[in-house]
Amino acid sequence: MGGGGEPAEVGALSTSEYEVPEGLYYTREHEWAKVLEDGTVLMGITDYAQEKLHEVVNVELPEV
């Protein structure tokens, strides 16, 4: 994910504009990750980031 410290897990939130689901880890750059039961990680970007970016043209992942 895009740096800016360790991802933080948050509880469910909701505003009139955006939903913030529970059980996800978030970065300051509006990326999220969810660890699935089989240990794989699902990644995405927040509703806010989707609205501001409109279109994702590339993704850079760190080496694991």
Query: pLDDT tens digits, the chain, 64 residues: what are they?
Result: 455 566 666 565 555 677 777 889 989 888 999 999 999 999 999 888 888 888 878 888 778 7
Sequence-ordered alpha helix ranges (H) in 1-64: 47-53
Name the percent of the chain in helix, strand, coil, to the closest 5.
10, 30, 60
Each domain of the chain, given as residue ranges in start order, spans 8-53
Residue 22 is predicted with a pLDDT of 82
Q: What are phi and psi of 56, to 5 degrees?
A: -95, 120
pTM of the model: 0.61
Phi-psi region of 43 (alpha: psi -120 to 50; beta: other; left: phi over 0): beta
Residue 55 near residue 27, CB atoms below 8 Å: no
State the sign of the Cα–Cα–Cα–Cα dihedral 30, 42, 1, 24.
positive
